Amino acid sequence: METLIASAPDTQDTEASQARHQWDMKEYLPHHEGAPLVKADHDETLVSLAWASGEQTQLPLIWLRDHCACDLCRHPQTFERTFMLMDDAALTVHQMRVEQGNLVVVWQDGHTSRFDAGWLLQRRPSDAPPATPVPASQAWQQGHEPHVTAFADYMAGGQARLGWLEALCRDGFAILDAGPTAGGEIDQVAATIGPIRATNFGGRFEVFSKQAPNNAAYTPIALELHTDLPNWRQPPDIQMLYCLANEAEGGDSIFGDGMAVAEALRERDPQAFSLLAETPVDFRFADETTDLVVREPVIHLDANDKVIEVRFNNWIRDSLRLPLEQMQAWYSAYRQYWSILREPAFRLHLKLEAGQMVAFDNRRVMHGRKSFDPTTGRRHLQGCYVDYDMVESALRVTARQLAGANLTQS
């Protein structure tokens, strides 16, 4: 909720904001109601602004012209920028004034730009990262309890959907509960997020014991924890598994946070951690018609050394091609990672019930299962992948709908 509050009106501003009209800036997100501007000065390159609430800032004049929201500078239907920055006369101020508490700039080429004071306030330069409703990923702590939302509540949208999508981004894991089991419900859930990401196994997939399996998932054997398709340049982001029946003996689902395991390894053996993060190895899936290969490290770090991805799938690790003197050390690091992954503290066991769906970040959270006996009952899951971008998009849209509703109510 914190992130929503940032775009909602401050109570102290209510009186001031009544003194000014809000101007449309062609944004979907409701912008800050804020206080009126009381000062707008400029020199050759900078504008200096002051608000009645005491905030001040400076912005380059070219920034102002770049952000003009009129119909000539932003497409009236798509809101995309059509102004192109390249004409010097367009970037020189002819006149500047405060009008209705907002900013008006007339440029040397005769063009007029109008900026809402609250919109400007939200965009004043700062070292802080831009406000976002998408939570940063957080490694699971011991005894992690997954977020659970009822299927019907999620489908209804609003706060329940927002909370579920937030959990999926933060924990890389979230559960829907008490859904129908007619089959195809997973398509309804995917439709709230985005298109299904197809792979060499197709779009939506069915997980049950098959006569002629081309993948261990389609057999009843136990599956060690793994991420799917690390042999792709971009492995599928979010995996969803919807349980339609789980009456067979066994078949418990197991999950583990690859990020938490990586952090544990970093703490216990920094050298082994670095080796897995710095040594690319080959992953490969091949069948009669497919041959998909990438060379990537097991642990991926971002520029700040935060773990952002894990590729772990022992079936489709290709031959290890490393200089002889690196091989033993790599195997040792890999086995250490795996042995932490096998510690009960890092594992989440679930017996999925009919009508339950798990969604997890396949590039971070590993999944597996215990073996099951297909002669003792039906076990049928439907699965698909969706892109993380679309999960974030669904989250932002849900958040801004709620923010818009809050503004309307206040």
The site for Zn ion (CB under 5 A) is made up of 68, 70, 72-73
Among 114, 111, 125, smallest CA distance to 21 is for 114
Q: Hey, is 295 helix, strand or coil?
A: strand
- Beta carbons of 54 and 12 less than 8 angstroms apart: no
Closer CB to Zn ion, residue 68 or residue 395? 68
Closer CB to Zn ion, residue 26 or residue 396? 26
CB of 109 to Zn ion, least distance (A): 10
Q: Which residue has the tokens 């929201």?
A: 69
CB of 83 to Zn ion, least distance (A): 6
What is the secondary structure of 38-75 as a DSSP string? Answer: EEEEE-SSEEEEEETTS-EEEEEHHHHHHT--STTTB-
Among 159, 162, 212, 200, smallest CA distance to 393 is for 162
Among 244, 178, 222, smallest CA distance to 381 is for 244
Closer CB to Zn ion, residue 20 or residue 67? 67
Rounded CA gap, 36 and 53, in Å? 8
Closer CB to Zn ion, residue 25 or residue 189? 25
**What are 243's two structure tokens?**
């349980």
Closer CB to Zn ion, residue 20 or residue 111? 111
Interior/surface letters 93-125, b for 16+ CB within 10 angstroms, e for the rest? beebebebbbbbbebeeebebbbbbbbbbbbee
Closer CB to Zn ion, residue 73 or residue 307? 73
Rounded CA gap, 23 and 39, in Å? 18
Closer CB to Zn ion, residue 105 or residue 384? 105
CB of 65 to Zn ion, least distance (A): 8
* CA pseudo-torsion sign 322, 323, 325, 326: negative
Beta-sheet pairing, 173-177 with 147-150: parallel
CB of 67 to Zn ion, least distance (A): 9
CB of 82 to Zn ion, least distance (A): 9
Rounded CA gap, 363 and 388, in Å? 10
Residue 346: how many other CB atoms lie within 10 Å? 20
CB of 93 to Zn ion, least distance (A): 14
Rounded CA gap, 145 and 148, in Å? 9
Closer CB to Zn ion, residue 72 or residue 345? 72
Closer CB to Zn ion, residue 80 or residue 145? 80
CB of 60 to Zn ion, least distance (A): 17
CB of 7 to Zn ion, least distance (A): 24
CB of 97 to Zn ion, least distance (A): 16
